[in-house]
Structure 1
Amino acid sequence: MASHPFEYFLWTIYPYLMLGSFFFGTIIRFTFFHAGVTAKSSEMLEKKRLMVGSTLFHVGIIGVFFGHIMGVLIPKAWTDALGISDYVYHHFIAIPAGAFFGILATVGVYMLCWRRFRNHRVFRTSSTADLIVIAALTIEITLGMLSSFVTAPVHPDFNYRTSLAIWARQLFYFQPDFRLMLATPLMYKLHVIFGLMIFGAFPYTRLVHALALPWRYVYRRFIVYRRRPQV
């Protein structure tokens, strides 16, 4: 630890600061500020790019999320026990699925980011937090794509399942070994650092609406709209 104080902080202390902010901040937000858990819509200001970008982004990010769950939380020993080799796992499962959902998320978030900053009406009605959130998501998804499809081919000997993934699982039982991250390529490190930062800021931004399941829409009565007759 003495020779790597900054690395020790990044991979042992910083993750718990961000995850603690996520969990306790979310509890506080839903307990005391539940009325503010919403995503302010700008659909009336511009609809076409919003619909296309939002659909691509949400479908892509859901796929990417479950891909991360499978890649990080499922140990390599489990897939080995099923007879799935590293070659098959990466070239027939991880890379095709990651490319498909990653491209969807990337195209979607870039459309939403362009719309947020370049559409005059949308930009003028956006809060500072709105601009920071969409910029942060754009950077994080870009870092993820660069890690998977640029850095990975440059470092063919690096296997995140035997280093980064093990470190990530160790966080859950409070014994992270920061040394597992020392040889991790920089792009992967930036992706993890930025992702943890987004988790830490999650409860204090519009992103928190993702945790608000709309159960009331299941049983609420239909809203009837009637057109005023033309005179």
Structure 2
Amino acid sequence: MMQSAPVLLAAPAPEAVDVGVWDILLWGALPYIVLAIVIGGTIWRYKYDQFGWTTRSSQLYESRILRIASPLFHFGILAVLVGHLVGLVIPRSWTDAAGLSEHAYHIMALGIGLVAGFGTLVGIVMLIYRRRTTGPVFMATTKNDKFMYVMLVAALLTGLGVTIISVFDTTPVDYRQTVSPWFRSIWILQPDVQAMAASGIGFQTHALFGMALFAIWPFTRLVHAFTAPVHYLFRPYIVYRSRDSKDTAGMVPIRRGWEPIGTQDRARGSTRSRTR
């Protein structure tokens, strides 16, 4: 009986590199430490700090800049996350089987990635400017918020830097043969340390900042992303006051508080003035 060949989720690295102790710690152990912090920290935050599970909105203090910066950042970061998932999860063999050439894939990923990355960066810069120049918003900014912004900007800048350098680099490192196999191998508990070690300093720096950002995620206002208000789309309508006339039929008319209330003396005075 013939057995089908196993499907490899992680392709070998393009070039064999020496794997040291630091490579094992960073790309073999650290991802699982970050996962444990994210899961455990989220459970702890939900159990002991539900009232703090909020974005601490400051729209009341300033809305002109926020009206532009917030959608720009949120839609941009959403596109960035989707792009990362597509690039890291989908193997190259799948896109080749779908008829998408490697050149077309990179052109598409480069265009979408640059637009989404710059949009997100502009949005977060506007948010930081607003928070720094608007007095009440700045007063409500904690050290936790400042550290969160540093990690966000660092992750964005390193990602954009790697993307821009790949345009001018004559021999760029293919992340689909290095970073992507390493990412997929983490979830099958067989981390491909050698693949990530061959990815280069740019991808490694971006990965470290990304893991640092996820490690602090449950302990910052970013945690609100785990509870998006999706149920708002399906909740029933709330009726505050009926406009149907039959609902008010037979009811005693309500006397409004601002209507003048007359007295007997005032009524007599008005009668005398009419008789005169």
Q: Distance in 2 between matches of 1:3 and 1:11?
A: 10
Match of 2:179 among 153, 159, 164: 164
Match of 1:187 among 182, 189, 202: 202
Deviations 1:78-116 (A, max 9, x none): 01111211101101x211111221121111111112222
Q: Distance in 2 between matches of 1:158 and 1:204?
A: 34
Q: Could you say which residue in structure 1 is the equivalent of 2:96?
A: 80
Alignment gaps of 5+ in structure 1: none
Q: CA deviation at 1:156?
A: 3.1
Q: Could you say which residue in structure 1 is the equivalent of 2:7?
A: none
Which of the pair is proportionally richer in helix? 1
Q: Could you say which residue in structure 2 is the equivalent of 1:55?
A: 71
Amino acid at match of 2:159: G
User: Contact 1:117/1:131 (CA < 8 Å) preserved in 2?
Assistant: no
Q: Distance in 2 between matches of 1:117 and 1:150?
A: 31
Amino acid at match of 2:49: F
Q: CA deviation at 1:37?
A: 0.9
Match of 2:32 among 16, 33, 50: 16
User: Contact 1:116/1:131 (CA < 8 Å) preserved in 2?
Assistant: no
SS of residue paired to 1:36: coil
Alignment of 1:117-128 (within 5 A): 117-128=132-143
Instruction: Select between 6-15 and 151-160 the one with higher mean Cα deviation.
Output: 151-160
SS of residue paired to 1:200: helix
User: Contact 2:151/2:213 (CA < 8 Å) preserved in 1?
Assistant: yes
Alignment of 1:173-212 (within 5 A): 173-212=188-227
Q: Which has the larger radius of gyration?
A: 2
User: Contact 1:113/1:135 (CA < 8 Å) preserved in 2?
Assistant: no
Q: 1:188 to 1:3 in 2, by over 3 A?
A: closer
Q: Is 1:213 the counterpart of 2:228 in the alignment? A: yes
Q: Distance in 2 between matches of 1:42 and 1:206?
A: 13
Deviations 1:49-82 (A, max 9, x none): 2221111001111111111111000001101111
What is the aligned-residue identity percentage?
32
Q: Is 1:68 the counterpart of 2:84 in the alignment? A: yes
Match of 2:44 among 28, 33, 54: 28
Instruction: Select between 68-77 and 43-52 the one with higher mean Cα deviation.
Output: 43-52
Match of 1:134 among 146, 149, 152: 149
Instruction: Select between 130-139 and 188-197 the one with higher mean Cα deviation.
Output: 130-139
Q: Distance in 1 between matches of 2:202 and 2:18?
A: 25
TM-score normalised by L of structure 1: 0.89
Q: Distance in 2 between matches of 1:105 and 1:208?
A: 18
Q: Distance in 1 between matches of 2:144 and 2:227?
A: 19
User: Contact 1:164/1:180 (CA < 8 Å) preserved in 2?
Assistant: yes
User: Contact 1:19/1:196 (CA < 8 Å) preserved in 2?
Assistant: no
Instruction: Select between 161-170 and 41-50 the one with higher mean Cα deviation.
Output: 41-50
Q: Distance in 1 between matches of 2:123 and 2:146?
A: 16
Amino acid at match of 1:10: L
Cα-Cα RMSD? 2.2
Q: 1:191 to 1:2 in 2, by over 3 A?
A: closer
Q: Could you say which residue in structure 2 is the equivalent of 1:149?
A: 164
User: Contact 2:70/2:123 (CA < 8 Å) preserved in 1?
Assistant: yes
Alignment gaps of 5+ in structure 2: 1-16, 242-257, 259-276
SS of residue paired to 1:38: coil
TM-score normalised by L of structure 2: 0.75
